[in-house]
Structure 1
Amino acid sequence: MKYYPLQFEPILKERIWGGEKIKTVLHKPITSKITGESWELSTVEGDVSVVANGEWKGKSLTTLIDGFPNEILGTKVHARFGKQFPLLFKYLDAREDLSIQVHPNDELARKRHNSFGKTEMWYVMQADVDARIIVGFKEKSNPAEYLENLKNKTLLSLLDDVKVNAGDVFFLETGTVHAIGAGLVVAEIQQTSDITYRLYDFDRVDAQGKTRELHVDLALEAINYNKIETKKEYSQNANQSNTVVDCPYFTTNFIPLDGVISASKSGETFTVYMCVEGAFEIMYDNSKLQYAKGDTVLLPATMNSFVLSGKASILEIYIS
C-alpha cells in the first residue's frame, strides 16, 4: 500500500453570521452568501470528510482509519483514541459576530453528550480594520453575576473585548466564554466535538424571523468564571517549526517556509498542514503535490519522510 498526502472535499456550512470570504479569500466553491464554515477534516457524525485526491478519492476518512488505524492515525494516537479521529479542522468567515458561547470539558461532555470536550485554538488569517473577538471575563465573575447581566442584556459589559490582527493566535480551553467578531477569517483547530452552549445571540432572527436556541442552564456548570489569558505569543523563525500551542489534545507549530525543509516523522502520529498564506509543495517518493492558501492536507503517520518547498505560512498540527 502506497500512502500519500490526503486532501478532502470541504464540508461547507451556511451560518446566519457567514459571508463570502471562504470563496474570495480561501477559494472554496461556495454558492451561498452566508457560508460561515468550511470543515476541512472531520469525523463528526453526519459530517465525515471524503478524500478528494489520489487512489483513495471518494473514500471516507472513517473508512480509511477503520482499515488502517496505525498507518493513518499513528501508533501512539491509535493506542490512545482507538479508531477515533480526535481533531476537527475548520476555516471560518465571520461577516457578523458569532454568538457568545462556551464549550464543555471532557468530563461534562462525556456525561451529557457521550462526546469529547472542545478545547480549541484560532489562527487569524485575515482581519478587517478594528475587528475584535470576545474572550473570557474582564475580571473574575460568578454564576449569579453572569445570570443577572444576561437577564439585563448587559453580558458584554463583563466580557473582554480584544482587537486582533492577522497572525494572532488564541488558545481557548474548555469553559472559556467567547465569540469570533465580525470581519475575521480564522483557521480553527479543535477536539472532535460539535458541542456548543450558546449564551447570547444579540437577539438576532433568521430568515424565518426565528431566534436561535440558547443553552443558558447547560452553560452554568461549563463556564470558567476566572479571568484567563488566551492570546499566544510565538516565534517566527524561518524554515523551522515554531511551537504555538502544546496541550494534551494537540500541538500546533507555525512554519514560515521560505525555501526547503526536510521532514522526518516517527510514525506515532498523523500530521496536518494548513496553508494560511502563500503556496508550497510536498515532495515524497519521487512525487510532488502543490498547495495554496486555504488548503488543508493530512499526512498519514506512516509517511515518515518528505520535503516541504515553497514560500508560505503553514500551521503544522499533530498529537504529542
Structure 2
Amino acid sequence: MYNEPIFLAPEFKERLWGGTKLKELFGYEIPSDYTGECWGISGHANGPSVIKNGSLEGKTLAEAWETNRELFGGEEGDEFPLLVKILDSKKDLSVQVHPDDTYAREVEGENYGKTECWYVIDCEEGAEIIFGHHASTREELEQMIDDGQWDDLLRTVKVKPGDFFYVPSGTIHAIGAGIQILETQQSSDITYRVYDYDRVGQDGKKRELHLEKSKEVTTVPHEDPAVDRKKSVEQGLVREQLVEENYFTVEHWELDGAVEGLSDRSYKLVSVIEGEGEIVVDGSSYSFRKGDHIIIPATVDTYGLKGKATLIASHSNK
C-alpha cells in the first residue's frame, strides 16, 4: 500500500509572453527569461510530471495513472483528468477560447475539452484580464471578429491578488501582462487563438489564429458564471471552497498551526503557493515548501498538516 504523499517535479514551458517570475517567486530553475508556464501536476503527454519520491520515483504521473490506479481511487478514464499550472504573464497572452468535451472529441480527436479556473497569486497594480465579450448574438460576434473590433468586443476586468475566476469552455479570455496565477483545468492543451495583437514570434512570423473554430465554440451571449466562495475552519486550517463544478472542486487553504484527521473522498492535488510545513501520515512527516506540487493519494486514509502556508487544493469530480 502506497502510504505517503507523492511529490512531483514540474515541467516548464517557454512562451512568447513569459518572464522570470517563476524563478523570482518560487525559486524554480527555469529554462530561460521567457518562461511562461510551470506544469506542476500533469499527466498530459505534452508535459507529464515526474514523481520525485517513494517506490514510483522516476515514473511519470501518466505512468502511475496507467499502472497504479488504486492511488486515484480506481477512477476511470484513459488519461489523468486534471492539469495544474502556474503562469507568469510578463506580456499579454493571446485572446483565446477553448472547446467543450464534445467538440474536442468530434473535431480534435481528444478526450477532453478545456474548462479552467484561475487563482491570482500576485499581479502588478492595475493589471487586467479579458473575460468574456459584449456581443449579443453569434452573428454580431462573427461580424465583430471579422471587422477586428477588438476594443468593442472584448470585456476587460481589473484584478488583484486573491481574486478567483471560473472560466468554462466557450469563454473568450486572456491573462493580461504582469499577472501570476495558479490555473486548475481539465487535462487539455487545445487552444484557439482569437486575437494576438498582431505580434510576431521569434521566427518573425505572426502566430496562427483559429477564427472559424473560435466562432463555433464561443458561448453567446457571455454570462459571468456564479462563484460562491465558502469558508470553514478545521483546527489550524481555514478552507475556502473556490468552485465546485462538473470537472473539479478547487479550494484555498490557509494553514497556521496544525490540523489532524484530514480525509478526502479520493485523491487530492495540492500546490504550495506560500510558506512551508509538513504533511503527517501515520507518524511520518514529509516537509513541503513554497513551489511544491503534491498528490495525496487515495491510499492515504487520513493525514495531518503542520506549519504556516497557503495552498491551493483540488480534486477531480469525474
Pair in the same fold by TM > 0.5: yes
Q: Would the aligned equivalents of 1:125 and 1:167 in 2 still touch at CA under 8 Å?
A: yes
> Counterpart of 2:142?
147
**Cα distance between partner residues in 2 of 1:7 and 1:285:** 17
Query: Residue 2 of structure 2 contacts residue 299 of structure 2 at CA under 8 Å; is this kept in 1?
Result: no
Summarize the Cα distance change of 1:246–1:152 in structure 2 as closer, same or farther, 3 Å threshold: same
2:302 maps to which of 300, 305, 310: 305
What residue number does 2:72 align with?
73
Q: Tell me, yes or no, if the aligned pair for 1:240 and 1:257 is still in contact at 8 Å.
A: yes
Q: Secondary structure at the match of 1:25?
A: helix
Unaligned runs of 5+ in 2: none
Q: Name the residue aligned to 1:212.
A: 207
Matched position secondary structure for 1:47: coil
* 2:294 paired with 1:294: no
CA-atom RMSD in angstroms: 1.7
Correspondent of 1:278 among 275, 283, 299: 275
- For normalisation by structure 1, the TM-score amounts to 0.92
Contact 1:236 1:254 in 2 (8 A): no
Aligned to 2:195: 200
Q: Deviations over 1:235-261 (max 9, x none)?
A: 455523221100010111121111112
SS of the counterpart of 2:269?
A: strand
**Unmatched 5+ stretches in structure 1:** none
| Counterparts of residues 99-178 of structure 1 (less than 5 Å) | 99-115=94-110, 116-138=112-134, 140-178=135-173
Aligned equivalent of 1:257 = 255
Q: Which deviates more, 224-233 or 190-199?
A: 224-233
Shift of 1:144: 2.9
1:233 deviates by 5.2
Q: How does 1:84-99 map to 2 (within 5 A)?
A: 84-99=79-94
Measured after TM superposition, the shift of residue 231 of structure 1 is: 7.2
Letter in 2 for 1:241: R
Cα deviation per residue 1:102-145 (whole Å; 9 max; x = unaligned)? 0001111111122211110000000111111000124x433332
Query: Contact (CA 8 Å) 1:99, 1:201: kept in 2 or not?
Result: yes
Distance of 1:244 and 1:13 partners within structure 2 = 26
User: Matched residue of 2:238: which SS?
Assistant: coil
Name the one with the larger strand percent: 2
1:207 and 1:282 map into 2 onto residues whose CA distance is: 43
Of 181-190 and 54-63, deviating more is 54-63
Q: Which amino acid aligns with 1:66?
A: E
For residue 92 of structure 1, give the secondary structure of its aligned residue in structure 2.
strand
Instruction: Work out the percentage of aligned pairs sharing the same amino acid.
Output: 38
Match of 1:243 in 2: 241
| Offset, 1:286 | 2.3
Residues 13-24 of structure 1: pairs in structure 2 closer than 5 A: 13-24=13-24
Distance 1:173 1:164, change over 3 A: same
- Report deviation, 1:230: 4.4
Q: CA deviation at 1:148?
A: 2.8
The amino acid that maps onto 2:41 is L
Q: Which deviates more, 204-213 or 146-155?
A: 146-155
Instruction: Report the residue type matching 1:292 in the other structure.
Output: R
Residue 44 of structure 1 contacts residue 193 of structure 1 at CA under 8 Å; is this kept in 2? yes
The answer as to whether partners of 1:4 and 1:303 remain within 8 angstroms in 2 is yes
Q: Does 1:319 align with 2:316?
A: yes
State the alpha-carbon separation in 2 of the partners of residues 19 and 106 from structure 1: 31
- Per-residue CA deviation, residues 181-226 of structure 1 (Å, 9 max, x unaligned), is 1000000000011111110000000122111110001111100021
Report Cα offsets for 1:268-298 as digits up to 9, x if no partner: 5210111122222111122212222222111
Partner Cα distance (1:282, 1:231) in 2? 33
Q: 1:14 to 1:27 in 2, by over 3 A?
A: same
Taking the aligned partners of 1:89 and 1:122, their CA distance within structure 2 comes to: 10
Q: 1:198 touches 1:216 (CA, 8 Å); kept in 2?
A: yes
Give the 5 Å matches for 1:27-106. 27-69=27-69, 71-75=70-74, 78=75, 81-106=76-101
